[in-house]
Amino acid sequence: MGIGRDEVMRIAELARLEFGEEDAAKYAKELDLILGYVAKLEEVGTEGKEALTHAQELVNVMRDDVPVEGLSQEQALMNAPARKGEFFLVPRIMDNSDED
């Protein structure tokens, strides 16, 4: 396999991380080591086995649809780096990548 510089930079961009070329080379090496370690798992035969989606064996943990009191508006906003009246304030949205 081998994680290259480009892949590191791409992951950095997706995770909104910023670092220089030197660090990129270092992280590429480190990520490679981690993946190499985990690659041992590929030696295990999983043919016909259903994928495990959770480490717990529990299923169907649910609550009833009953509303409970949350935070007050003041509490909700008290840790906001910036606020405007009753709202959280964030820098202007540059791209239109709104999603659902």
Partner 1 sequence: MSWETVIGIEVHVELSTESKVFCGCKTRFGARPNTQVCPVCLGMPGVLPVLNRKAVEYCMKAALALNCEVSGRTKFDRKNYFYPDLPKAYQISQYDMPIGKNGWMDVEVDGKAKRIGIRRVHLEEETGKLVHAGDDITSAESSMIDFNRCGIPLIEIVSEADMRSADEARAYLVKLRSILLAIGVSDCKMEEGSMRCEANVSIRPEGSTEFGALTEMKNIASFKAVYKAIEFESKRQAKVLESGGRVRRETRHWDDLKSETVFMRSKEQAHDYRYFPEPDLVPLEIDRAWTDRVKDTIPELPDQRKARYVADYGLGQRESSLISDDMDLSTYFEKGIEAGAEAKALANWMTGELAAALNASGTEISSSKAGPAEMAELLGMVAKNEISGKTAKEVFAEVFAKGGSPRKMVEAMGLGQISGEEELRKAAVAVIDANPGPSADYIAGKENAIMFLVGQLMKATKGRANPKMANQLLKQELDGRKKNL
Distances (CA, A) of 36 to 42, 47, 68: 10, 21, 47
Choose among 34, 11, 35: nearest CA to 23: 11
Q: Which residues bind to partner 1, rule: CB under 8 A?
A: 10, 14, 16, 53-56, 58-68, 70-73, 76-77, 82, 84-93, 95-100
CB atoms within 10 A of CB 8: 22
- Closest to partner 1 by CB, 33 vs 89, is 89
- Closest to partner 1 by CB, 22 vs 85, is 85
- Closest to partner 1 by CB, 22 vs 92, is 92
